[in-house]
Amino acid sequence: MRLTKQSGYAVRIVIHCALAQGELSRIVDIAEACDITKNNISKTVPILVKNGIVEGVRGRNGGIRLARPPAEISVGEIVRAIETTLGEAVGFGSEKARSKVGKAVAINRMLDDALEAFVSVLDQHSIEDMMPKSAKAKDLAFLNTPGATSARSSKPVPRRARTRNKARSRTSTQSSR
């Protein structure tokens, strides 16, 4: 079975919060440490909050932290929360198809059973199991995907700043003449 990227992001976000040991984690910090865009984090965190996996604190000094100890949060629980769209076989899910096919809709029940069996294996592993034993709260390099850090490590200069710098250099050059 394949999981969406969002499931991987969710697991990495939860591990990051577990390593923070009860301290609040800001989206900006998670994005940098886990190499996930702020947009993807902003889509994933509300689902985790709704399912009681993390808790959010609003405000200037807000952030997220685990709602429960890492040993009580299973990987399966996270995947179940994110993968809400249980598979429906194409052509068997619509009302029109059901009336024509009849008992063939049973394939959707089989797919649901297969997904549940897959996730039940993930239920056997907690977030605590996935945390490195020697990891320090600040050492989050293992959360980055391989090869992805080099592409994002150099932050581009915003366009507006570049044009301002060019304008300043022109005026300084003209004044020195």
Contact 7, 14 (CB under 8 A): no
Q: How many angstroms separate the Cα of 33 from the Cα of each of 10, 13, 23, 27, 38?
A: 14, 10, 15, 10, 11
Instruction: Please tell me the pTM assigned to this model.
Output: 0.67
Q: Which pLDDT belongs to residue 79?
A: 93
Domain boundaries, the chain: 5-85+125-145
Q: At residue 172, does pLDDT exceed 60?
A: no
Q: Taking the alpha carbons of 8, 15, 41, 73 in that order, is the dihedral positive or negative?
A: positive
Q: At residue 55, does pLDDT exceed 70?
A: yes
pLDDT tens digit string along 86-100?
A: 455 555 555 655 555
126 DSSP β-pair partners: 74
| CATH number for the domain formed by residue range(s) 5-85+125-145 | 1.10.10.10
Share of the chain above pLDDT 70, in %: 63
pLDDT tens digit string along 126-163?
A: 999 988 776 544 455 555 554 433 333 344 444 444 44
Length of the chain in terms of residues written: 177
Q: At residue 27, does pLDDT exceed 50?
A: yes
